[in-house]
Amino acid sequence: MTDWIIDMDFRILNGIQGYARCDFLDWFFPRFTSLGEKGWLYIVVAIVFFAMAKYRKWGVSLSFSLMFGLVFGNMMIKNLVGRTRPYNLVEHFQLLVSPLSDYSFPSGHTMAAFEFFVVVCMMPVARRYKVMVGIFSFMMAFSRLYLYVHFPSDVLAGAILGSLFGFCGVRLAQFVYRTKEQA
């Protein structure tokens, strides 16, 4: 990565630490971000969608999206880039969560949240649900910055990749269902 990206990443992270830190958010964000651990929340949502005939295709879409994120984002890109987490580059930074053992780029929490967001945006559901999931996804992304476990460029990449994987998951599910109907 070029120096200007790293410089901008640290400016944003340190700005958040300087202006947004407070006791309530120090309590809230570790709990909120835990909802995205290992993708369990999204897996449960996919299972719930799959269990309801009306939303089964969307459960399949979310499952495909999560698989794309796992394979291409978390297993391939993270290991190819091998970016160190920001708290490992700053001496004496007091983390609000346990240190993580994997790499920083891209943010897996953000990626999964945006996979979920894009799938919901493509579903035939009320706009208020799309807005709620959008707010949830942006909060998940911000939590990763607030907790100093990702750089802003990690989170941006996670949002972009998650959106792409969400879209591809929906399109693959539509293809599978169309092929199944034609058979």
Domain ranges of the chain: 3-182
Q: In angstroms, rounded to a whole number, what is the distance separating the alpha carbons of residues 52 and 102?
A: 35
Q: What is the 3-state secondary structure (H, E, C) of 155-178?
A: HHHHHHHHHHHHHHHHHHHHHHHH
Options 116, 143, 150, 167, the catalytic residue? 150
Cα 128 to its chain centre, rounded Å, is: 20
Q: Is 109 a catalytic residue?
A: yes
Of the chain, the percentage scoring pLDDT greater than 70 comes to 99
pLDDT at 1 over 60: no
The whole-chain average pLDDT of the chain stands at 92
Query: 37 pLDDT band (50/70/90 cuts)?
Result: confident
pLDDT for res 125: 84
Q: What class has domain 3-182?
A: mainly alpha
pLDDT at 79 over 90: yes
Query: 25 pLDDT band (50/70/90 cuts)?
Result: very high
**Side-chain-facing half-sphere of 103: CA atoms under 13 Å:** 16
pLDDT tens digits, 111-126: 999 999 999 999 888 8
pLDDT tens digits, 88-104: 988 888 889 988 889 99
Q: What is the mean pLDDT of residues 79-94?
A: 89
Q: Is 150 a catalytic residue?
A: yes
pLDDT at 19 over 80: yes
Options 109, 153, 161, 173, the catalytic residue? 109
Region of 29 on the Ramachandran plot (φ > 0 left; ψ -120 to 50 alpha; else beta) = alpha
pLDDT tens digits, 125-152: 889 999 999 999 999 999 999 999 999 9
